[in-house]
Amino acid sequence: MIAEAGLAALWLAAALALLQLVMGATAFAGRGDAARMVGGAVVGPAAVAQGLLTLLAFMLLVWLFTESDMSVRLVAANSHSAKPMLYKIAGTWGNHEGSMLLWVTILGVAGAAVALFERRVSARMRHATLAAQAAIGLGFFAFLLFSSNPFERLAPAAAEGQGLNPLLQDPGLAFHPPTLYLGYVGLSVAFSFAVGALLTREVDAGFARAMRPWVLAAWIMLTLGITAGSYWAYYELGWGGWWFWDPVENASLMPWLAATALLHSVTVLATRDALRAWTVMLAVIAFSMSMVGTFLVRSGILTSVHAFAVDPQRGSFILALLALYIGGALALFGLRIATVKEGAQFEPVSREGALVGNNLLLTAILGVVFVGTLYPLAAEALSGEKLSVGPPYFDATAGPLALLMFVLMAAGPLLRWRRDQAKALIRRLAVPMLAGVAALGAVLVFAPGIRILPLLGLVTAIGVGAASVAPLFGRNLRRTPLFIWGMVIAHLGVAVSLAGMACDSAFTRETLVALNPGEARMVGPYSVRLTAIDPVAGPNWTALEATLVAQRGTNAPITLKPQARSWPNPVTQTSESAIATAWDGQLYTVLGAQDERGRWQLRLWWKPFVTLIWLGGGLIALGGALALVGRVRRAARQPVAAFA
């Protein structure tokens, strides 16, 4: 009865989403005070109840997975009774139906949070926002109930499950998808706020202050999700790379780019009452990119470890939802744009001007990634010809735009609001520019053969790093607002990540060798010796495990044990890398097959300062978290406007 209870909860939640939509619309646009009062009294409780019921449905699905109930089709197809408990739980969202239920659950809980806690906008706008959130939820409830029922029974019940994709049997699965989904759905709330503001014609600073925490929270989650996903792919897939411009990777990057632009735009609107129309448009674009990402990953149009669905009907359903929501929002934007006041003016040389420039560059990068991701799919659909757009395209197009954006990012915080002087800006940038020049000289002396793009990346990283901390100069650090610290740390994180990317691109050393036990080979500063190959067994896999002893100079030796694993359910072969981390980089090892002479193939990488990539990602998210806490604390100290 657990599955039936879960399905019933899902149907009830869908009915409450419909009620929320109707009551929200009535409260916003109903005729007569009585109708608006009834609608206003019902829409909030309906949103809370819907969120709770959706959460209940999701927890019941988790229960079915932990109990290995093979009478449920989804469990039988994506789990196995012999799996460790962590992967039984994570397996709940390691498939199409479960991941979409997680999507809807976060959507419902977010709507409940808006109903419970948001009091900084007018009641009309809150009701319109909740109605828009319910409209989004209804589409995905329909998708689940009519196309992707996660509680469907299997008759007769399977004796045993087919197991989870082995590449997904990693602790990363427990954290990566939920983190990304929190980001995606946070952008849905920003979208609903934008729709509510357009409907009520309240596109102003108050709307921006209400929306900003949601955008910031979504951006933090997306940052964490992309950073964690990058490291997960790096150590799990065994190819030694941290980003491949894979369409599924791009599906998470595109919303992040749009959310980054939106975050800066909404800050300008909240503090300076400028960029009104641009902020609303970015809110629509950011959620559109979330929907595009959902369509790419869940439609079956891509073949990937992350792409679960292979049913064209489901893809058409998601595509219809995308067209409905985004088309509707753009139509509303077109109808109401004439009523959106321009907002405060500013000069080109100003902090607002730098933010606009940065936003345009972020949007241009987003366009480059969007075209590079979708063009091969469109070409194949129209002509049947398979095309591939890989790293050379993205590096050549997005790379220069990103470098220019980083330079502008360094200058922005050093500019004054409204109006500034170019000469004054140059004086403030003197230290960062000197740091960059010093870095250029040092790199040319110690690494004369470095390629141009990594060289520019390193120089820019040093300059941006110096400029990032400049806003703290002359301040009383104890009295510096938390959101200023957040901005400084986030920008510093960008510099750290950029330095890691440039170092990995310029200085990585790769060695492909075939060794007998007892033989050694140098890679970077390490001598790596193969000492043994042994069979080992895990909870639901067997493997051949290499024992490698790596020594750097006279330091103590390090033992690494890469594995070549065999999985019975489903039958799969995977490589488990073994990585040793030092202060200045990582030694990355992968065990390959045995060759015809009985030697064992090994892939060895020395990757200087590669860890800076993820350290920077963590700093960016930390900066965002500090800014969020600072903004929320400041908002709590300010009186709330007397809205009805």
Final residue belonging to a domain, choices 134, 169, 204? 169
Quote the pLDDT of residue 579: 97
| DSSP H or E segment with residue 24 | helix 2-29
* Domain match, 72 and 156 both: yes
The DSSP code sequence of 357-413 is HHHHHHHHHHHHHHHHHHHHHHHHHHH-------HHHHHHHHHHHHHHHHHHHHHGG
Cis-peptide, bond into residue 454, ω within 30° of zero: no
CB 401 within 8 A of CB 368: yes
CA distances from 111 to 11, 21, 117, 190, 297 (A): 17, 12, 10, 11, 24
Digit-coded pLDDT (tens) for 352-411:
999 999 999 999 999 999 999 888 878 877 777 777 788 889 989 999 999 999 999 999
**Rounded to an integer, what distance in angstroms lies between the CA atom of residue 154 and that of residue 534?**
41
| DSSP H or E segment with residue 606 | strand 600-608
Structure tokens at 458: 């390193």
Residue numbers of the chain with a pLDDT score lower than 50: 304-309, 642-644
* Domain match, 165 and 218 both: no
Mean pLDDT of the chain: 90
Helix 171-200 vs helix 96-117: crossing angle, to nearest 10: 50
Tell me which residue of 537, 561, 534 sits closest to 82, measured CA to CA: 537
Final residue belonging to a domain, choices 112, 146, 169? 169
- Residue type present at position 257: L
Dihedral pair phi/psi, residue 603, rounded to 5°: -110, 125
* Domain match, 280 and 378 both: yes
* Domain match, 305 and 391 both: yes
**Rounded to an integer, what distance in angstroms lies between the CA atom of residue 128 and that of residue 109?**
17
Is residue 196 assigned to a domain? no
Q: Show the DSSP H helices in 273-350 as ranges.
A: 276-298, 312-336
Is residue 615 assigned to a domain? no
Structure tokens at 318: 């998601």
CA distances from 475 to 469, 481, 485, 624 (A): 11, 10, 11, 21
* Domain match, 407 and 538 both: no
Quote the pLDDT of residue 303: 56
Quote the pLDDT of residue 478: 87
For residue 445, the tally of other CB atoms under 10 A from its CB is: 8
* Domain match, 84 and 147 both: yes
Is residue 194 assigned to a domain? no
- Residue type present at position 261: A
CB 484 within 8 A of CB 547: no
Is residue 338 assigned to a domain? no
Dihedral pair phi/psi, residue 585, rounded to 5°: 155, -170
Quote the pLDDT of residue 106: 93
Per the listing, tokens 């319910």 go with 134
Final residue belonging to a domain, choices 401, 418, 435? 418
* Domain match, 28 and 161 both: yes
| DSSP H or E segment with residue 356 | helix 351-383
* Domain match, 142 and 10 both: yes
CB 623 within 8 A of CB 487: yes
Structure tokens at 407: 């330079």
**Rounded to an integer, what distance in angstroms lies between the CA atom of residue 508 and that of residue 487?**
31
* Domain match, 1 and 145 both: yes
Per the structure, the complete domain to which residue 117 belongs is given by 1-169
Tell me which residue of 245, 226, 242 sits closest to 388, measured CA to CA: 245
* Domain match, 7 and 64 both: yes
Structure tokens at 361: 């560059």
Tell me which residue of 338, 214, 227 sits closest to 283, measured CA to CA: 214
**Rounded to an integer, what distance in angstroms lies between the CA atom of residue 315 and that of residue 320?**
9
Tell me which residue of 368, 354, 372 sits closest to 401, measured CA to CA: 368
* Domain match, 310 and 362 both: yes
Cis-peptide, bond into residue 570, ω within 30° of zero: yes
Q: How many domains does the chain have?
A: 3
Structure tokens at 244: 């491949």
CB 180 within 8 A of CB 222: yes
For residue 448, the tally of other CB atoms under 10 A from its CB is: 7
Bridge partners, residue 574, by sequence: 565
Model confidence, pTM = 0.92
* Domain match, 246 and 143 both: no
Give me the sign of the Cα torsion angle 638, 345, 287, 289. negative
CB 229 within 8 A of CB 235: no
- Residue type present at position 265: S
Is residue 493 assigned to a domain? no
Per the listing, tokens 């100290």 go with 637
Is residue 163 assigned to a domain? yes
Question: What letters, b where the CB count within 10 A reaches 16 and e where it falls short, cover 502-512?
Answer: bbbbbbbeeee
**Rounded to an integer, what distance in angstroms lies between the CA atom of residue 10 and that of residue 105?**
10
Is residue 504 assigned to a domain? no
Is residue 425 assigned to a domain? no
Dihedral pair phi/psi, residue 471, rounded to 5°: -60, -15
